[in-house]
């Protein structure tokens, strides 16, 4: 059965720490992997990674796709309290888009 698994389920860090969130997938006909940030309500788009573009960076956030290991990591450096959110990974394959359960990140001041 196709699936998307995120780890850890939750973590708590202090401001200034660096965190790495993981997303692994077992799907056929992989098309892309997307990362979303969900604060209080609506998820907002962060990155999309495809076979033709395996690394993206925006400010303190970066993401890498490992096609061999069928996984992706989302790195956040110099974390801030505003980074506290649920981070969702979604994998597009065939004509489907499946979300992982998310990682809850809490950044303490």
Partner 1 sequence: NAGVTQTPKFQVLKTGQSMTLQCAQDMNHNSMYWYRQDPGMGLRLIYYSASEGTTDKGEVPNGYNVSRLNKREFSLRLESAAPSQTSVYFCASSERRQTHNEKLFFGSGTQLSVL
Q: Which residues form the interface with partner 1 (CB under 8 A)?
A: 4, 9, 31-32, 34, 36, 41-45, 48, 88, 90, 92, 95, 97-102
- Residue closer to partner 1 (CB basis): 17 or 73: 73
Asked if residues 15 and 106 have their Cβ atoms less than 8 Å apart, the reply is: no
| Cα–Cα distance measured from residue 54 to residue 63, given in angstroms and rounded to the nearest whole number | 8
Q: How far is the CB of 58 from partner 1 (least distance, A)?
A: 14
Q: How far is the CB of 7 from partner 1 (least distance, A)?
A: 13
Tokens of 6: 């995120």
- Residue closer to partner 1 (CB basis): 35 or 83: 35
- Residue closer to partner 1 (CB basis): 44 or 81: 44
| Cα–Cα distance measured from residue 24 to residue 8, given in angstroms and rounded to the nearest whole number | 11
| Cα–Cα distance measured from residue 32 to residue 53, given in angstroms and rounded to the nearest whole number | 10
């Amino acid at each position: 059965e196709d699936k998307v698994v995120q780890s850890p389920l939750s973590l708590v860090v202090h401001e200034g720490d660096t965190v790495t969130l993981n997303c692994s997938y077992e799907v056929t006909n992989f098309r892309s992997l997307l990362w979303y940030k969900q604060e209080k309500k609506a998820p907002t788009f962060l990155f999309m990674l495809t076979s033709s573009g395996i690394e993206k960076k925006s400010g303190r956030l970066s993401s890498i796709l490992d096609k061999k290991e069928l996984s992706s990591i989302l790195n956040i450096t110099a974390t801030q309290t505003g980074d506290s959110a649920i981070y969702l990974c979604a994998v597009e394959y065939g004509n489907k888009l499946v979300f992982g359960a998310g990682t809850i990140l809490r950044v303490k001041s």
